[in-house]
């Protein structure tokens, strides 16, 4: 039996994402229009719309659709915004950001992910994206500041250097804390606030895992 991708996509938006308090029409339209199955590893294509984190390799996962929707909504992107994505992964979130914002710079430490995502983004017509292979926690130094930063992997503690990459009024979405009860948070530079959105669990970015606790 052949999977009806269009029906599965609409069911994902209506029955998963929308019911998880994602009501932003622009975000829902993007999730309904983009071919998520084209960004999923071939072995998991039939599960592209499941409420699961799909393996990408290197210990990384593609976030659940509901988490993707909540992140995109929380960032409140304008069509003129510049966005930095930390963790390109499959490139699907990159494509969503590209449809919602003016320009996206996306980083991933794995060159394999960067190359695969570039091809998928070209096929999806996303020509306002720069995909770079780089390490974000310790090494990357941007040449500009951004309106928003989207972090698709977890950190034990927020690297403070990231805050300097935001413009006044900028927003940063990140999942932080210790597994299995991490907190998805939104930081607003202008207000100096951190809003806890929901609990989830994601693999840590490289160099962002907690220091092991030693018990005697």
pLDDT per residue over 168-193, tens digit each? 999 999 999 998 889 999 999 887 88
Domains and CATH numbers, the chain: 5-200 (3.40.50.150)
Alpha helix positions (H), 76-192:
92-100, 111-123
pLDDT, average across residues 18-44: 97
For strands 54-57 and 193-200, give the pairing. unpaired
169 burial (CB, 10 Å; 0-12 / 13-18 / 19+) is: exposed
0.75 exceeded by pTM: yes
Q: Provide the pLDDT confidence category of residue 212 given band limits of 50, 70 and 90.
A: confident
Q: Provide the pLDDT confidence category of residue 1 given band limits of 50, 70 and 90.
A: very low
């Amino acid at each position: 039996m052949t999977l009806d991708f269009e029906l599965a996509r609409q069911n994902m938006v209506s029955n998963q994402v929308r019911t998880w308090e994602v009501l932003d029409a622009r975000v829902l339209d993007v999730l309904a229009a983009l071919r998520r199955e084209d960004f999923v590893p071939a072995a998991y294509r039939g599960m592209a719309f499941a409420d699961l984190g799909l393996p990408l390799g290197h210990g990384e996962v593609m976030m659940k659709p509901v988490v993707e929707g909540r992140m995109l909504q929380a960032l409140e992107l304008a069509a003129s915004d510049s966005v930095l994505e930390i963790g390109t992964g499959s490139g699907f979130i990159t494509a969503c950001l590209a449809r919602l914002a003016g320009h996206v710079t996306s980083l991933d430490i794995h060159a394999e992910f960067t190359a695969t995502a570039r091809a998928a983004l070209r096929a999806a017509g996303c020509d306002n994206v720069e995909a770079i292979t780089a390490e974000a926690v310790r090494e990357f130094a941007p040449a500009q500041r951004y309106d928003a930063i989207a972090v698709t992997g977890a950190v034990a503690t927020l690297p403070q250097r990231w805050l300097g990459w935001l413009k006044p009024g900028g927003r940063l979405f990140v999942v932080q804390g210790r597994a299995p009860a991490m907190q998805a948070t939104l930081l607003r530079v202008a207000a100096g606030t951190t809003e806890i959105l929901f609990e989830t669990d994601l693999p840590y970015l490289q160099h962002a895992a907690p220091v092991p606790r030693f018990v005697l």
